[in-house]
Amino acid sequence: MSQAVSYSIRDKIGVISVKNPPVNALSQRVREGILDAIGKARKDKSEAVVLCCEGRTFIAGADITEFGKPPMEPGLPEVLSAMENLNKPIIAAIHGTALGGGFETALACHYRCAIASAKVGLPEVKLGLLPGAGGTQRVPRIAGVRAAFDMITSGNPIPAKIAHDMGLINEIIEGDLVEGAIGYARDLVDSGAPLKRIRDINIDSATIEPGFFEQARKRANARARGQIAPDRIVSCLEAAVELPIDKGLERERELFRELVNSTESAAMRHIFFAERLAAKIKGLPRETPVREIKQAAIIGGGTMGGGIAMCFANAGIPVVLLEINEEALDRGMKIIRKNYGITVKRGKLTDADVKKRMGLITGATDYADIAGADIVIEAVFENLDLKKEIFARLDATCKPGAILATNTSYQDVDAIAAATSRPQDVIGTHFFSPANVMRLLEVVRGEKTADDVLATTMGLGKRIRKVCALSGVCYGFIGNRMLTGYGREAQLLLLEGCTPQQVDSTLEKFGMAMGPVAMGDLAGLDVGYKARQSRNTEGDDPRPYAVSTRLVESGRLGQKSGAGYYKYDSDTRARNSDPEVEAIIREEAEKFGIEQREISEEEIIARCMYPLVNEGAKILEEGIAQRASDVDVVYVFGYAFPVAKGGPMFYADQMGLKNVYEKVLEFQDKHGEKNWQPANLLRELAESGGSFAAWDKQQG
Ligand code: CAA
């Protein structure tokens, strides 16, 4: 038997135990081991069989690393069929998370028991897939088609107790799971319980309301932002209702194969692993010590500071919010309370949850109140002198060993660290707005940041449920530095003849949550305007700011003033094109002598995406980012770049780096030397037929 699976008989009950750390994924040797064990159990004297797992979880799914490689026997459907057709009861004993192929394995058993803390789910859609081992056929047979639709298209796991109410779990076990499962198996045998095969349940199509699938498809597509997996899931559910189970399983397999070979799923699998890899710092030993974080403090109770405080409270870490006076503090606390109120209204938190979380946030106006904090995060506005002043004060106030973090988006972390006598304790923690919602945390390592400070901050990021990516110090770090070219090209496209709607809808069709022009309106056009006023813009190219400046000076600040590049409906906030803005754009184009023309969608995408790729490549060659896949993580989790495109660097690999490089050269020729200076790394990889993925691997 494969070492990943063991088989023994206890009290006449066969126990198949899977041991494939870390998450008992269904790798080839696990499938083989289960099949062997079933073969044994079929013939031996055991009266029933329990399938359980060692370690932290029941099987958490297929082994994702095997996707895209030649299939290895035995396939999962063969294993599940052997289980389902076993001549004695087989019972899944679930703890941790039974996900994807893991839950499908449990569904092929005759009975399922679980401890109350377990969760079950079919998260394949999050990898651009559908449950390919019977999930779409078996879940609707037990829980109904509507529940199956919600479960499979959302991909969200369900607590065992709810799964029990839905009929997906037969028994909740108190105490030791394996002992309990053996006892449950014994009871089933003693009571002569039948071999309950889900495949034998018929779905009564009369219970499905007319038009259900049409509606389901619409809902799935509306949520999916161009992804194909949700649509194929609906097709499988239709098959579950219309076809006998074997035909339904065939249909499911066929559509699974289509998805597993799609670029969309490859991109989403890339992001799954990239997210986990980004947490690993090259050259930082695993055993690097970490500092204990029991108490946090945030300086500045504005939108950002308040959002960060919420992240700590949500993770159960006490946090002090420091403001300059009571009035500002009150304002900050009110915003936090309001934000929690919205979550309660949406049914995602109870009043008791909010009370508990608010209880972890304490207000303060005196630096002495944060002297005992283990980490202080400064979140005041972007002014280097102010930040330096605050850090000097923190240096004088905070206890030795406290981590001093700055939530700057652009400023020089080393200059801020130099304002203290302990630069080794200083680090950048760049949150994204709204900080309590956005998943990304860019962790910025200063020249002198100590290893344990870095390791602690990365661990803390995970604790407050962020996806961390490491950046070195440069203007704008990874994300905002890359964004400059993206925003610039969107503006130049307007001057060259695109309407705001054309630029935004093209990029939204590409998969961006919101186009760059509408994003400017959402953020407020006055923000950039004020920033330009406060710095020396001499020598800057004025074209990318010309329209925005005109809009601000005519009182159009974006959504908050009801108009910016668009006019906004005061009730629905729907955006509408405005001929007045189009006239302003034409006037500005004329001033710069830019001739307006028809611009294709293809050009809009290339003009906006390739600056991201080119700057990303520069960031890699300078060592600012550790890996191309980290850059993708930054964009997917911080800038709502479509996960189904895998991030800008993965996208560039799909387009072919030679093609990307040639386009960059073409744009350089047409639009100017300075903006389109190709990165050396892009040139080298294009000329050698390389890719960012291969480059990552080579770098180790
Ligand atoms: N295959 C291969 N490796 C996996 C894996 C899988 N299904 N799930 C997790 N891993 C790896 C991770 O990459 C990570 O590796 P490193 O330590 O080298 O970084 C390690 O296991 C631990 O994972 P996490 O850091 O995510 O651990 P966690 O405790 O935070 O979360 C988890 C555990 C909830 C199971 C989470 O890993 C997860 O959601 N995994 C994916 C589950 C999934 O999508 N299953 C469906 C697969 S597709 C399928 O099953 C198709 C089908 O129909 C047959």
The string of DSSP codes covering 258-295 is HHHTSHHHHHHHHHHHHHHHHTPPTT--TT--------
- The range of the structural domain enclosing residue 663 comes to 601-699
Do both 150 and 20 map to the same domain? yes
Q: Which atom of ligand 1 lies at the shortest distance from residue 99's CA?
A: 45
Cα(60) to ligand 1 centroid in Å equals 6
Shared domain check, 119 and 57? yes
User: What pLDDT score does 532 carry?
Assistant: 82
277 CA closest ligand 1 atom index: 19
**Residue 144, Cβ neighbours under 10 Å: how many?**
16
**Ligand 1 pocket: which of 23, 27, 34 to mutate (most atoms <8 Å of CB)?**
23
Nearest ligand 1 atom to the CA of 132 is 53
Say whether both 62 and 170 belong to one domain: yes
| Structure confidence at residue 2 (pLDDT) | 62
Catalytic residue among 84, 104, 171, 323: 104
- How far is ligand 1, taken at its centre, from the CA of residue 519, in Å? 34
- Determine if ligand 1 sits within 6 Å of the CB of residue 120: no
* Closest CA to ligand 1's atom 25: 276
Query: Does residue 157 have its Cβ closer than 6 Å to ligand 1?
Result: no
Ligand 1 centroid, distance to 268 Cα (angstroms)? 13
Give the residue whose CA is nearest to atom 19 of ligand 1: 276
Task: Tell which of 471, 489, 512 closes a domain.
Answer: 471
Ligand 1 centroid–CA 588 distance in Å is 52
User: Quick check: is 488 in a domain?
Assistant: no
Residues 418 and 372 in one domain: yes
**Residue nearest ligand 1's atom 38 by CA:** 60
Cβ burial, residue 211 (10 Å; 0-12/13-18/19+): exposed
Q: Is 587 marked active-site? A: no
CATH of the domain at 147: 3.90.226.10
Which entry of 124, 171, 378, 615 is annotated as an active-site residue? 124
Question: Which protein residue's CA is at the shortest distance from atom 43 of ligand 1?
Answer: 61
Backbone Cα Rg of the chain: 28
pLDDT of residue 1: 56
Final residue belonging to a domain, choices 535, 564, 591: 591
- Both 307 and 417 in one domain: the answer is yes
Quick one: which H or E segment has residue 508? helix 500-510
Ligand 1 lined by 129 (C-beta under 6 Å): yes
Give a yes or no: residue 677 inside a domain.
Answer: yes
Q: Is 20 in the pocket of ligand 1 (CB under 6 A)?
A: no
Judge if the beta carbon of residue 322 lies within 6 A of ligand 1. Answer: no
User: How many domains are there within the chain?
Assistant: 4
**Residue 63 Cβ contacting ligand 1 at under 6 Å:** yes
Question: Ligand 1 pocket: which of 64, 136, 137 to mutate (most atoms <8 Å of CB)?
Answer: 64
Query: Which secondary structure element, helix H or strand E, spans residue 354, and what is its range?
Result: helix 351-359
In a domain, 643, yes or no: yes
65 CA distance to ligand 1 middle (Å): 10
In a domain, 265, yes or no: no
* 16 plus 128 within the same structural domain: yes
Q: 231 and 127, same structural domain?
A: yes
Residue 651 amino acid letter: Y
Closest residue by Cα to atom 34, ligand 1, is 97
Is residue 613 domain-shared with residue 538, that is, in the same domain? no
Q: Are residues 145 and 205 in the same domain?
A: yes
| Ligand 1 neighbourhood includes 275 CB (under 6 angstroms) | no
Q: How many A from CA of 55 to the centre of ligand 1?
A: 14
Q: How far apart are CA 15 and CA 182, in angstroms?
A: 8
Q: Which residues contact 229 (CB under 8 A, 6 or more apart)?
A: 124, 125, 128, 129, 130, 259, 264, 265
Q: Which of 561, 591, 621 is the last residue of a domain?
A: 591
Q: Is the beta carbon of 62 within 6 A of some atom in ligand 1?
A: yes
Whether residues 225 and 86 share a domain: the answer is: yes
Ligand 1 center–CA 238 separation, angstroms: 29
For residues 237, 241, 242, 248, the Cα torsion angle rounded to the nearest 10 degrees is 60
Ligand 1 atom index nearest CA of 57: 35
Q: Helices 76-84 and 28-43, interaxial angle, to 10°?
A: 20
Using the 8-state DSSP alphabet, how is residue 309 labeled?
A: H
Nearest CA to ligand 1 atom 13: 273
Report pLDDT for 535.
Answer: 75
Task: Calculate how far, in angstroms, residue 23's C-alpha sits from the geometric centre of ligand 1.
Answer: 6
Q: What residues in the chain have per-residue pLDDT under 50?
A: none
Q: How many A from CA of 63 to the centre of ligand 1?
A: 8
Cβ(696) to ligand 1 under 6 A? no
Kindly state the helix (H) or strand (E) to which residue 402 belongs, with its residue range: none
Longest Cα separation, the chain: 90
CA of 437 to the centre of ligand 1 (A): 23
The residue contributing the CA closest to ligand 1 atom 45 is 61
Q: Is the preceding peptide bond at 77 cis, omega within 30 degrees of 0? A: no
Alpha carbon distance, N-terminus to C-terminus of the chain: 34
C-beta separation of 535 from 410 below 8 A = no
Residue 104 falls in the annotated catalytic set: yes
Question: Does the beta carbon of 97 sit less than 6 angstroms from any atom of ligand 1?
Answer: yes
* 157 is a domain residue: yes
Same domain, 89 and 178: yes
Measured from the Cβ of residue 584, the count of other Cβ atoms closer than 10 Å reads 19
**Which residue has its alpha carbon closest to ligand 1 atom 33?**
23
99 lines ligand 1 (CB under 6 A): yes
What pLDDT digit, counting tens, does each position of 281-300 carry?
999 998 999 999 999 999 99
Q: Output the domain CATH number for residue 503.
A: 1.10.1040.50
Strand order of the β-sheet with 361-364 is: 361-364, 319-322, 296-299, 375-378, 403-406, 426-431, 440-444, 467-471
Residue 493 inside a domain? The answer is: no
133 CB within 6 A, ligand 1: yes
Cα separation values, 282 from 454, 586, 650, Å? 12, 50, 21
**Would the CB of 306 count as within 6 Å of ligand 1?**
no
Residue 285 lies in a domain: no
Structural domain contains residue 277 = no
Specify whether 116 is located in the same domain as 18: yes
